[in-house]
Structure 1
Amino acid sequence: MITKKNIISLIWIFSALWSVVSILSWSHFPVEYREEGVRLTFNSMMEHMLHGKFDVAPWTVQEEGFLRDGRVYAYWGIFPAFLRIPILLFPNGLHLDITRLSSIIALLIILFFNYRIWDFLSCKFFQEARWASVSLAIVFAFSGEQVCFFEHKLYQEVCFWSLAFAGWFIYSAIQTIFDETYWRQAGPSMAIAASGALLTRVSMGIGLYAALLCFLVYFTYKACLKSKQKDLTGSIKLILLPVVLSGLGIVITAYVNYERWGNPLTFANYNLYLYNIEYPDRLFRTKLYGLFNIHRFYLGFIYFFFPIWVFQKHDGTFLFQQQFTKLIDANELPASSFFLTDGFMMLCGGIFLWTLLFNRRKDIFPFHRLLVGAVIISLGIPAFLMMIAISMNYRYRAEFYPDIILLGALGLIYIVRYKSDVPYLKKILMALIVVSVLVSNFNSLLYGFSELGPCYPYMPHGVGYYYYHKIFK
């Protein structure tokens, strides 16, 4: 007899296998030997850091490097470099490319925290709503962040690890939102996760740090309300450890920035970017509009949510091509939309946001509204930055997922408790699950065939001809 438990177990087991197989589908081996190339950048970074230096060998990072004072630097965070320390135990270890292996580990960690979030929500809120439990398992396992970024390049490895830290953070945050006593475990966990993200991918780290600050302010305020000295001392201790751990992450990051760029607040100096030699227009664009500019927001909205920019006009140009070319270095393939890859979570999250903003009943949510609202806004900072950034790449969708997961989870809880009897809502959600799974996996396939960087030179005959030629020719 097939039970709910068996179904759920099969979902998670198959998802883990699917993650590993998908990463290895482009190559049969998780570790390869290479003479040179960007995929060895973290190997070189690790070796140099062990000698107290923060540059990398030019033959690794190549055009992705930044030339300063005769040395070449990479802009990626240092955490993935520390994962390479064991390769020193092997002959010619510095030439071992473990990008795929590292990506697989990060993906499995993402899946693990997705499972933990699902398990917590199912046990606490979905005991009587089997459809919600199974639906959330399918969405977490086979769509969205767990699937969309299946690739084996170094760029994706960084995104995978930042998402792994974000998953740890969101799991701890959800637990704390519904059970404030869990802060004793969640505070240090969220501080370590935020520090790890900052040392991996700064944009993700900024969002997690801002959300952590919201929790710290909230629990500091509660500590100040304590009337007994004993309770106040205990509360301060609960706040102090997360502050120290997160502060350590900031100090390390500032030191790395200073060693690389001469300024602890600079994360990358794109005036020194070696790719500027190949794309000289980027220097002019950066000087004119900056790395982040609010005037790009509408283009970011189109790129991430309404991918009409791949529609070709009669004259051979594309919709909004002039605006993208003027303001942005690259809008990268494949075209996608969160409404398709994450429709289930987007609808749940949208319903939750609407209710949070416009339903004033105090008994409708079993948590502090202001805290949750502040955390949602904080987690949205990285997504906002990506929508006004000078480049819009497919992998930058990673920055949206902490908010998508948190909002979707809270929205599904609200639907199960108050909206499960709404006509057609459950059917719409079921349809969105199918769309999310299919589109996420289809996008993952297209991503493997897509060229990185500016898309217009690659598809003069249209996006359909481009993919037909890449896949079948």
Structure 2
Amino acid sequence: MFCKKNVTTVIWCAAIVWSIMGILSWSHLPIEYRPGGLRLTFNSMIDHMLHGHFDVDPKTVEEEGFLRNGKVYAYWGIFPSLLRLPVLLFPNGLHWDITRLSSIMALLMILFFNYRTWRFVSERYLGGTSWVSLCLAIALAFSGEQVCFFEHSLYQEVCFWALAFASWFVYCAIRVLCEKEYWRYGGVCMAVAAGCALLTRVSMGIGLYVALLCFLIIHFYRWCRSFRTKDEGVTLLSLVVPTVISVLAIIVTAYVNYRRWGNPLTFANYDLYLYNVEFPSRIVRTKTYGLFNLQRFYLGIVYFFVPVWIFQKADGHYVLQDSFTRLIDANELPPSSFFLTDGFMLLCGALLIVGLLRKGRVFPINRAALASVAVSLAIPAFLMMIAISMNYRYRAEFYPDIVFLGTLGCVYLYNNLKDVRALKKILVALLVVSVVSSNLNIFLYGESELGPAYLYIKDGIFSYYYHRVF
């Protein structure tokens, strides 16, 4: 037992070092001086906000901006810009690029809550030092969300912070489902996490808000029943405080939207997108199919799970190329599959779902509550599967549900299927594949150009990466 405890300590410490060095690319500093460019967009955003404006300097956001009434706006949430407040206290602080430092902070937050999640379920349900506990620690430390996004651009910074708040939310959600009395503290934390996510990346915020609503309904029902059952686990205050926090975040978000687009319900107006000048077909595609369309769902399955779109046919075209170019703006490199990068967590989650549909299985969590939260957390992923653009970083939207179901799947596995030797071998093999694939993915991502993949892989995907690397 002593040896296994030391192993898990080494795992989490190594994950911290590996993550920090991955963000720094083993050679960069966390803070750099830059005369301009996209990585200073949030610097410009907070500077303008302090003067009562919500536009940004066109020299920072460049083509990623939206031109409205003679001013250029960014579509990203305002939370990352608030992190730039301290740099404004220094001379030339507006030119300090803290994208890497901010990403490291978010990544450490992800690892912290992944660790808290692992420790809670491990000590409570997984026997502390079982093989299931060890595998879960490795999966949460060296594969998936905390490895696949080491790229340190501004795009990834936003995804990192959205994932950080989602990790906080998932930890609290699991605690509340397992310990009803944790709601008094966990409900407030989940409201703050959901609100911050909404102010960072709206798609992630929507999923967390719906999950929080499920918890509020469940505990409101408990509060109503408490008058008959003498249940003291829920108070009116424990319902009011999360609700107020959530509403305040919605009001702030609506106000920012109104100042940017003239409509509190608009998060981005792609008719005003400056990139439309370079890619005029996007205007037609947006008007024809919209930003979200169910017709793209099968392409989402292909892009995120079964990337056959990278295979070239005899005529030089790629599999489903016509569908991709007709329905979406870009299917971005590198090709990837959750079955490879997160196979261990996906199988554990699948075992949980199948097991809960069967009667007689032992599980310490209310099944209806678990199902409602799982479906809510799947909303961001579903939106990405029908979105007008399919980018590698959009994989972030899938991870709250993957971690939630995968972690609870390990609990189900340990309590119901721990003696199945063949399954153990399969899971260990998937874990190895997950770790290797996740780290390979981030290497390929660092070598990939952003934007429509078909512009770059005319000679084939292998030729493209061969020339990029060598």
Q: For this structure pair, what is the TM-score category when the shorter chain's length is used for normalisation? A: over 0.9
Structure 2 contact 183–234 (Cα < 8 Å) conserved: no
Give secondary structure in 1 for the equivalent of 2:265.
Answer: coil
Give secondary structure in 1 for the equivalent of 2:72.
Answer: strand
1:270 aligns to what?
270
Once the two structures are superposed, what CA deviation does each residue of 1:342-372 show, in whole Å capped at 9, x if it has no partner? 000000001111122x2133x6222221111
2:50 aligns to what?
50
Q: Which amino acid aligns with 1:134?
A: L
1:369 aligns to what?
367
**1:351–1:92 CA distance, 2 compared to 1 (3 A):** same
Once the two structures are superposed, what CA deviation does each residue of 1:259-281 show, in whole Å capped at 9, x if it has no partner? 00000000000000000000000
1:344 aligns to what?
344
**1:234–1:371 CA distance, 2 compared to 1 (3 A):** closer
Aligned length: 470
1:95 aligns to what?
95
Residues in 1 aligned to 2:327 and 2:145: alpha-carbon distance in whole angstroms = 28
Once the two structures are superposed, what CA deviation does each residue of 1:180-217 show, in whole Å capped at 9, x if it has no partner? 10001100000000000000000000000000000000
Query: Cα distance, 1:321 vs. partner?
Result: 0.4
Q: Which amino acid aligns with 1:359?
A: R
1:119 aligns to what?
119
Query: Cα distance, 1:230 vs. partner?
Result: 8.9
Query: Cα distance, 1:423 vs. partner?
Result: 3.5
Residues in 1 aligned to 2:63 and 2:107: alpha-carbon distance in whole angstroms = 27
1:457 aligns to what?
455
Q: Which amino acid aligns with 2:464?
A: Y
Residues in 2 aligned to 1:426 and 1:66: alpha-carbon distance in whole angstroms = 51
Once the two structures are superposed, what CA deviation does each residue of 1:406-459 show, in whole Å capped at 9, x if it has no partner? 100111111111111124000100001100000000001000010011000111
**1:114–1:128 CA distance, 2 compared to 1 (3 A):** closer
Residues in 2 aligned to 1:383 and 1:374: alpha-carbon distance in whole angstroms = 15
Identity of aligned residues (%): 63
Give the counterpart of 1:428 among 421, 426, 429.
426
Residues in 2 aligned to 1:447 and 1:115: alpha-carbon distance in whole angstroms = 26
Query: Cα distance, 1:52 vs. partner?
Result: 1.0
Give runs of ≥4 in structure 1 deviating > 4 Å: 228-234
1:437 aligns to what?
435
Residues in 1 aligned to 2:214 and 2:374: alpha-carbon distance in whole angstroms = 10
**Which stretches in structure 1 are left out of the alignment for 5+ residues?**
none
Residues in 2 aligned to 1:132 and 1:37: alpha-carbon distance in whole angstroms = 46
Give secondary structure in 2 for the equivalent of 1:226.
Answer: helix
Q: Which amino acid aligns with 1:337?
A: S
**1:359–1:257 CA distance, 2 compared to 1 (3 A):** same
Give secondary structure in 2 for the equivalent of 1:67.
Answer: strand
Structure 1 length-normalised TM: 0.97
Residues in 1 aligned to 2:133 and 2:234: alpha-carbon distance in whole angstroms = 37
1:323 aligns to what?
323
1:11 maps onto 2:11 in alignment: yes
Structure 2 contact 5–129 (Cα < 8 Å) conserved: no
1:143 aligns to what?
143
Structure 2 length-normalised TM: 0.98
Residues in 2 aligned to 1:121 and 1:380: alpha-carbon distance in whole angstroms = 22
Give the counterpart of 1:467 among 458, 465, 470.
465
Query: Cα distance, 1:285 vs. partner?
Result: 0.1
1:106 maps onto 2:106 in alignment: yes
Residues in 2 aligned to 1:213 and 1:453: alpha-carbon distance in whole angstroms = 36
Give secondary structure in 2 for the equivalent of 1:264.
Answer: coil
**1:233–1:148 CA distance, 2 compared to 1 (3 A):** closer
**1:44–1:26 CA distance, 2 compared to 1 (3 A):** farther
Once the two structures are superposed, what CA deviation does each residue of 1:367-401 show, in whole Å capped at 9, x if it has no partner? 22111111111000000000000000000000000
**1:219–1:233 CA distance, 2 compared to 1 (3 A):** closer
Q: Which amino acid aligns with 1:392?
A: M
2:388 aligns to what?
390
Query: Cα distance, 1:229 vs. partner?
Result: 11
Q: Which amino acid aligns with 1:390?
A: I
1:254 aligns to what?
254
1:206 aligns to what?
206
1:222 aligns to what?
222
2:359 aligns to what?
360
Residues in 2 aligned to 1:231 and 1:13: alpha-carbon distance in whole angstroms = 41
Structure 1 contact 224–232 (Cα < 8 Å) conserved: no
Residues in 1 aligned to 2:246 and 2:454: alpha-carbon distance in whole angstroms = 42
Query: Cα distance, 1:226 vs. partner?
Result: 1.9
Q: Which amino acid aligns with 1:469?
A: H
